[in-house]
């Protein structure tokens, strides 16, 4: 396979030869007209599903998993973490077990979905902070429960989102960290002290910072400021134009600098037409343009767009350049999760996305690898 494109970091036209999944040759080319950009494919740490299928759905099938993965690849997402949200023990166990069986039988899918994210159920049960997570299933951390899920996942749970104020959260974070699981702070009303203690215990990142919290917070002592001020924490953001206004995106990008990563947080309703749907045991509404809310409220419930829209969004909302936006979507999530970071160089794995930028929108042409 010969790919002619402009690498995202330099813009200099190159012909890339790909053989058996590796870049085997690079050569300059004089023909630059109409060439797409090329970059490491996007790695999204938080995909809940799409097109009405979700990883915690009771009727999830291997065909559903492949449909979700192939839909994501159409948006430049070469790798992602299937994300299971707050639910009963049995529902989460069933979701992880189904994923494990599916990946065991499909090596291609196993490469595309290298690790899992457990977002809950150890989150705040308070309105606003819990977002669309069902209150009746939010609960305190339980190591034995988690271990049973990790067994069902065949050890693939690589990230867990936790609210540090839950009883037993700190020793739970310490045990996760010792087991090489990345701990994220999210859906929380934790105090500054609780957040700092969580970081000391091993928490490494924030899940969709600026969301998963009440619409109104104390002016100074609140979990957003505290996580922003903590230099040790990475932070994912949803730059879809709905979850965060431009001023907040700019502040997070400037404050976190080289510790920002993008997630689209695609919900199970992503890609569906406007209307009301029953999801996660709650009535949801897809609004024109793709915004998803808990029906009749202002509370967002995942995203209706994918990572390509968030790459364009962080450039538009946050004022960052293409190289930085790609780094947030492709490089930094892999680094955080301990996944190999592909480079555009001879001998490297060809995990690539080719795309155009047209009037500020990103249009994916092809995903390789």
List, in order of start, the domains of the chain with CATH numbers: 1-41+342-369 (2.30.40.10), 42-340 (3.20.20.140)
Q: Identify the band that residue 183 occupies on the pLDDT scale cut at 50, 70 and 90.
A: very high
Specify the DSSP class assigned to residue 217: -
75 has binding-site annotation: no
pTM listed for this prediction: 0.96
Q: What are phi and psi of 261, to 5 degrees?
A: -130, 155
How much is the average pLDDT of 162-191?
Answer: 98
d(CA 318, CA 254): 9
Q: Which pLDDT value is given to residue 280? A: 64
Of 226, 221, 217, whose CA–CA distance to 196 is shortest? 226
d(CA 315, CA 87): 35
Q: Which pLDDT value is given to residue 172? A: 98
Q: What is the pLDDT of residues 215-224, one digit of tens each?
A: 899 999 899 9
Long-range contacts from 227-231, C-beta under 8 angstroms, 24+ separation = 227/185, 227/195, 228/252, 228/255, 228/256, 229/255, 230/195, 230/196, 230/199
Q: Which pLDDT value is given to residue 160? A: 98
Q: Which pLDDT value is given to residue 360? A: 93
How much is the average pLDDT of 136-146?
Answer: 98
93 has binding-site annotation: no
222 has binding-site annotation: no
Provide the token pair at 211.
Answer: 């969301």
219 has binding-site annotation: yes
3-state DSSP call for residue 246?
A: helix
β-sheet bridge partners, residue 235? 206, 260
The answer to whether the CB of 17 falls within 8 A of the CB of 2 is yes
Q: Which pLDDT value is given to residue 320? A: 97
302 has binding-site annotation: yes
48 has binding-site annotation: no
Q: Which residue has the tokens 């994918």?
A: 306
What residues are annotated to the active site? 265
Q: Identify the band that residue 229 occupies on the pLDDT scale cut at 50, 70 and 90.
A: very high
87 has binding-site annotation: no
How much is the average pLDDT of 130-147?
Answer: 95
Q: What is the pLDDT of residues 24-35, one digit of tens each?
A: 999 999 877 899
Q: What is the pLDDT of residues 305-339, one digit of tens each?
A: 999 999 999 999 999 999 999 999 999 999 999 99
């Amino acid at each position: 396979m010969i790919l002619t494109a402009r690498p995202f970091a330099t813009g200099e036209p190159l012909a890339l030869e790909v053989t058996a999944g590796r870049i085997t040759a690079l050569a300059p080319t004089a023909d630059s007209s109409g060439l797409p950009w090329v970059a490491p494919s996007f790695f999204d740490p938080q995909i809940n599903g799409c097109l009405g299928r979700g990883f915690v759905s009771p009727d999830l099938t291997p065909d559903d998993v492949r449909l979700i993965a192939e839909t994501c690849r159409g948006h430049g997402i070469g790798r992602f973490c299937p994300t299971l949200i707050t639910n009963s023990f049995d529902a989460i166990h069933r979701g992880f077990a189904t994923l494990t069986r599916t990946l065991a039988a499909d090596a291609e899918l196993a490469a595309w979905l290298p690790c899992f994210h457990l977002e809950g159920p150890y989150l705040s049960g308070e309105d606003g902070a819990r977002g669309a997570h069902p209150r009746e299933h939010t609960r305190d951390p339980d190591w034995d429960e988690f271990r049973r899920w990790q067994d069902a996942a065949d050890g693939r749970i690589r990230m867990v989102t936790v609210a540090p104020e839950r009883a037993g959260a700190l020793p739970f974070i310490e045990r996760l960290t010792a087991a090489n699981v990345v701990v994220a702070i999210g859906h929380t009303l934790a105090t500054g002290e609780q957040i700092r203690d969580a970081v000391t215990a091993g928490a490494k990142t924030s899940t969709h910072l600026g969301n998963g919290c009440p619409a109104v917070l104390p002016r100074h002592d609140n979990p957003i400021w505290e996580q922003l001020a903590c230099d040790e924490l990475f932070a994912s953001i949803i730059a879809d134009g709905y979850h965060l206004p431009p001023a907040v995106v700019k502040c997070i990008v400037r404050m976190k600098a080289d510790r920002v990563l993008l997630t689209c947080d695609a919900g199970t309703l992503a890609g569906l037409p406007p209307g009301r749907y029953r999801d996660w045991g709650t009535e949801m509404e897809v609004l024109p343009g793709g915004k998803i809310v808990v029906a009749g409220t202002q509370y967002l419930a995942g995203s209706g767009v994918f990572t390509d829209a968030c790459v364009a969004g962080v450039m538009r909302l946050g004022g960052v350049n293409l190289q930085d936006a790609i780094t947030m979507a492709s490089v930094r999530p892999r680094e955080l999760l301990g996944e190999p970071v592909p480079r555009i160089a001879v001998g490297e794995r060809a995990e690539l996305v080719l795309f155009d930028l047209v009037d500020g929108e990103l249009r994916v042409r092809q995903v390789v690898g």
